[in-house]
Amino acid sequence: MNTTPAENPDSGRPEAKPPAMPQSPHAPGPESEFSEADQIPVSGCFGSVDAILRHPKRILFQLRRGNSRETILVLIGVAIACALGYGLIIGLFSGGEQVFYAPVKIAAGLLLSALICLPSLYIFAALGGSKAGIEDVLGLLAGLLALTTILLIGLAPVAWIFSESTESVAMMGALHLAFWFVAVGFGLRFLHTGFKHTRLRANEGLSVWAIIFVAVALQMTTALRPILGTADTMLPKEKKFFLAHWADNLSSPSGARQQSAGREDYRQEPIVEEEGR
């Protein structure tokens, strides 16, 4: 910041000029935060997946110093691909149209949740003293999504085994949620680590944001239901909060097996239409 006062030629009195605001495309940070190993460039999808699991600082360095836009696009691509893959496992439980709908809903829901929470992430980071610009924040959020979905893919075989061993929608719902919480926990850890390199002074805001993000994502699963189980329509006709939806599912029969023309279908309780809608 330039704080040198300039003299007023008319009065001879020095005039204090307001300090100018520095502008840089990325948050500043000393190079010493990253070792030489951290500065090895990361390229391609597999390189990014390997780096985010084993050398996350390389991703952080690339987001800060390298071609961050390309890295962000790769991370988002990885997140979408992995979300579609995990969604397929979810869809296989119910079969039929859910094999196509579930992957799309999982991927779209994750991206929409991130988009909804992106402005508040920037706000909370700034309130905590972070020098991260909007591109830095987007990069870290993309990293969170990528790491979360990569871990879900890792858990996908486990989820598939359970889905072949039970007919209970509530049981499978709880299992997928538990896996999601584990995965997003690691994703949030990546986010926190990333923000530490942007001069973040206080973590409390990010912790609050984490709660908001989880709540939004959980509500998104209800807004896009059914993801497990089937219904007459692709999207619900009735608006519900996720706690109410879970309570309804837990209190109703877990799944009614139907036989129709030799096929066995698993159906949820039919969605009750609101009067007047």
Residues that bind other proteins (CB under 8 A): 1-2, 16, 18-24, 115-120, 122-124, 126-127, 129-131, 133, 212, 216, 219-220, 222-223, 238-241, 274, 276
Tell me whether residue 34 or residue 242 sits nearer to other proteins (CB atom): 242
DSSP lists the bridge partners of residue 7 as 14
The answer to whether residues 124 and 206 touch, using CB atoms and an 8 Å cutoff, is: yes
Tell me whether residue 45 or residue 134 sits nearer to other proteins (CB atom): 134
Min dist. Cβ of residue 110 to other proteins (A): 14
Strand, coil or helix: 203: coil
End-to-end CA gap in the chain: 60
Min dist. Cβ of residue 263 to other proteins (A): 34
Min dist. Cβ of residue 27 to other proteins (A): 10
Residue 217: name the closest of 122, 149, 139, 116 by CA.
116
Tell me whether residue 37 or residue 215 sits nearer to other proteins (CB atom): 215
Q: Which helix (H) or strand (E) holds 262?
A: none
Q: How far apart are CA 59 and CA 72, in angstroms?
A: 10
The answer to whether residues 147 and 114 touch, using CB atoms and an 8 Å cutoff, is: no
Q: Which residues contact 39 (CB under 8 A, 6 or more apart)?
A: 58, 61, 65
Cα-based distances in Å from 20 to 4, 16, 17, 131: 11, 12, 8, 16
Tell me whether residue 161 or residue 244 sits nearer to other proteins (CB atom): 244
Min dist. Cβ of residue 36 to other proteins (A): 25
Min dist. Cβ of residue 240 to other proteins (A): 7
Tell me whether residue 232 or residue 275 sits nearer to other proteins (CB atom): 275
